[in-house]
Amino acid sequence: MPEKKEKFYLTTPIYYTNGLPHIGHTYTTVVADVIRRYKRMRGYEVVMTTGTDEHGVNVERAAKKAGVPESEYVARMADAWRSLWDELGLTADEFVRTTDLQHVRTVQWLFKLCRENGFVYKGHYTGQYCIYDNAFVNDAKPGDNCPDCGRPTETLTEENYFFKLSAFQKPLLDFYKKNPDFIQPESRRNEIISFVEGGLKDLSITRTTIRWGIPVPGEEPHVFYVWFDALTAYLSAVGGPDYEKRGMWPADLHLVGKDIIRFHTVYWPAFLMAAMLPLPKQVWAHGWFLMDATKMSKSKGNVVLPRPIVNMLGMDALRYFLLREVVFGQDGNFSYDALVTRYNSDLANGLGNLASRTAAMIEKNFAGKIPKPAEHKPQDDVLAKEAQAVIGEVLERYEKMEFARALEAIWAVIASVDKYLTTEQPWALGDSEADKQRKATVLWTSAEVLRMVTVLAHPVLPQSTDKVWALLGQTTSLGAFELDGLRWGQLAPGTSLGKSQSLFPRVDKVEAVERIESMANEELNPTQPAPAAATPAPASTPTAGAAAAAASVAAPERIGIEDFSKVEMRVGQVKTAERIVGADKLLKLTVDIGSEVRQICAGIAQFYEPESLIGRKVVVVTNLAPRKLRGVESNGMIVAASVGPEGRPVLAGFHEDVEVGARLK
């Protein structure tokens, strides 16, 4: 452990604003968050940066399509990214936007340094350009598609400022040699070394064909090439030209997907060398999460969204799955089925079950206080040894970014304690003094293993381990626990257990997958009609906002009475009402409509308590085709007024008594 707090600065890529986060982006940010928590627990002062990459032709196009100025478009998108990260508990220490003034100044300053040092010149460039990846495609001919995204390239000629990348072939190769850990994993390192050995062409770093970018001072209409702009965000987030004051630069770790490794390990260090600034210590490129063996993309319609998963299973389940399922660095397939299987086996049956059964037995036998262990038997010592030994292994695995192995090691201890409980059978012991003492030893031992596992798993499962920590009666902050001080035997007998809380309730796989998929459908198609007048469209997606705005200005079409009479509305009476797990806006109701009792879902859960609705008379549209909401069948719609800007639902009703089943005309 470092003596005085050593600093650790890590970054995620800054994400493009022409879409919203899917599971791929979430993966990188989750990993960064895990490392951030892990390093803090090892005594480092950690800063983690994420942000949004807001310039370029794609944004120009998207803003135009949305009918708003670029600045407004990116502000909305940056907000949406930031709030989703907050919602997922992935709040970085710095969120940098490339439209921030501090960032703009840093980019201009970096350019000035490179130019003053003789590494920038003016020239012309003609080439095939991929507007989707914002990059000229080396060696492509007109008509060629982009090798990365497969879409057509465009021929572009422009006056540019060039960066003398060719001058950095040797310095880069020397740097890689001197710093063998700079590029990780090893396979990527070899790939980059051979790329650089193959020769480097100078790189155009300004554009005149793009308007929406950071201006090159005194050289308008030149704006900076998006990658010169974007990479600099890592530096502007921690002080820019004044980076020395903050003391965080150089970065200790840039986490990136394998798609952008070249930018980070060739261009970025070359820019910094040219400016004579310190170089980052490491770039780690992880693999992709694939869907049906192809890369996820909105255009392919195969994106997996984080929110529905989190609504159904909780954020820790998603974090666990992302890190446990795939060897960090390699590609992996995403499947809901595997996600839910892991959730049930490792979290509900594994950690969750160990915590609840241990606590329940201590509650029952020792009045909720951690018992004092008595004489040890060899099997107790074997378990103690195993738990003690796993500390070193787990720390080493985390350090090497072998997250799946770290979790495997932790879960092996969970399996051992489960086995230990099965053989020792503390529940079968009686009330004799000897039995009581044995029970105390077994339960203390199990609780101690649980405590150690909880500490070790905290970086990956922050929310649920906090709960187990409190359950074990610990009052200190688990996030501030020093991993290097973790030892067997620290669980103090006599500590009162905290309140038991639900950790990972088991779910039915088919139902869970169906619900996640249906929530994802709703989020991806926000323009679908709302299930009840009361269900607002998902907030914070600019597309939803724009659609709503467009709808509100369009004049309503008039219909004839024959159209109106197609809608059958009847008086209904609510019989039962309950919340739906994983759907915080929906209530599941059963409603008597005279001829039958119907199950109907209504998006009113945030405004009506289920109990207050029982017996209430409501207006029901009875001839709507049934549909599934969050996996629950809804056979009809409850009518409500939508009040105020947030669309608060107010149920339609009657002042006089009306008969159930009466038709509204």
For ligand MSP, the binding residues (CB under 6 A) are 13-16, 24-25, 27-28, 53, 230-231, 233, 256-257, 259-260, 288-289, 295-296
> Residue 30 or 414: which CB sits closer to ligand MSP?
30
Secondary-structure percent of the chain, ordered helix, strand, coil, rounded to 5: 45, 20, 35
CB of 11 to ligand MSP, least distance (A): 8
Closest C-alpha among 513, 581, 460 to residue 335: 513
Our CB check for ligand MSP shows the closer of 14 and 315 to be 14
Q: How far is the CB of 52 from ligand MSP (least distance, A)?
A: 8
Find out whether 55 and 214 touch, Cβ atoms under 8 Å. Answer: yes
Minimal distance in Å, beta carbon 256 to ligand MSP? Answer: 5
Cβ of residue 657: shortest distance to ligand MSP, in angstroms? 59
Beta-carbon contacts of 158 under 8 Å, excluding residues fewer than 6 positions away, are 124, 125, 204, 207, 208, 209
Nearest alpha-carbon partner for 19 in 101, 132, 168, 182: 132
Please say whether the beta carbons of 336 and 410 come within 8 A: no
Nearer to ligand MSP, 280 or 603 (CB): 280
**Cβ-based nearer residue to ligand MSP, 53 or 448:** 53
To ligand MSP, the closest distance from the beta carbon of 102 in angstroms equals 16
Comparison of 460 and 619: residue with beta carbon closer to ligand MSP: 460
The least distance separating ligand MSP from the CB of residue 12, rounded to whole angstroms, comes to: 7
49 vs 206 by CB, closer to ligand MSP: 49
Closer residue to ligand MSP in complex, CB, 251/296: 296
Long-range contacts of 180-184 (CB under 8 A, 24+ apart): 181/281, 181/282, 182/265, 182/280, 182/281, 182/282, 182/283, 183/261, 183/265, 183/282, 183/283, 183/285, 184/282, 184/283, 184/284, 184/285, 184/329, 184/401
Answer whether the bond into residue 250 is a cis peptide, omega within 30°: yes
Cβ atoms of 162 and 202 closer than 8 Å: yes
Closest approach, Cβ 289 to ligand MSP, in A, equals 4
- The values of phi and psi at residue 572, to 5°, are -120, 160
Rounded alpha-carbon distances, angstroms, from residue 533 to 286, 556, 561, 643? 44, 16, 21, 10
Distance CA 464, CA 317 (A): 9
Length of the chain: 665
Alpha carbon 30 to chain centroid, angstroms? 6
In the complex, least distance from residue 232 CB atom to ligand MSP, rounded to whole angstroms = 8
Q: Is the CB of 403 or the CB of 420 nearer to ligand MSP?
A: 403
Q: How far is the CB of 652 from ligand MSP (least distance, A)?
A: 44
| Residue 70 vs 393, nearer CB to ligand MSP | 70
Helix (H) or strand (E) holding 103: helix 101-116
Q: What CA–CA distance (Å, rounded) separates 11 from 134?
A: 21
Give φ, ψ of 176 to 5 degrees. -60, -35
Identify the helix (H) or strand (E) that includes residue 587: strand 583-592
Closest approach of ligand MSP to the CB of residue 328, in Å: 11
Min dist CB 254 to ligand MSP, Å, is: 8
Q: Which is nearer to ligand MSP, 28 or 344 (CB)?
A: 28
Cα 8 to chain centroid, rounded: 21
Per-residue CA distances from 307 to 409, 518, 550 (Å): 29, 12, 26
Q: Which is nearer to ligand MSP, 253 or 296 (CB)?
A: 296
What CA–CA distance (Å, rounded) separates 3 from 20? Answer: 41
Evaluate whether 241 touches 106 at the Cβ level (below 8 Å).
yes
Q: Which is nearer to ligand MSP, 14 or 266 (CB)?
A: 14
What is the amino acid identity at position 205? I
> Closer to ligand MSP at the Cβ: 236 or 464?
236
Work out how close the CB of 234 gets to ligand MSP at its nearest, in angstroms, rounded to a whole number. Answer: 7
Cα 449 from chain centre: 29
C-beta closer to ligand MSP: residue 24 or 280: 24
Min separation Cβ 257 and ligand MSP, Å? 3
State in angstroms the smallest separation of the CB of 57 from ligand MSP.
13
Cβ count within 10 A of residue 340: 24
Residue 492 CB contacts under 8 Å (≥ 6 apart), including other chains: 370
Nearer to ligand MSP (CB atom), residue 257 or residue 545: 257
| Maximum Cα interatomic distance, the chain, rounded to a whole number of Å | 91
The CB-nearest residue to ligand MSP is: 24
- Judge residue 206's burial from the number of C-beta atoms within 10 Å of its C-beta, 0-12 exposed, 13-18 middle, 19 or more buried: buried
Q: Rounded to the nearest whole angstrom, what is the least distance from the CB of residue 312 to ligand MSP in the complex?
A: 21
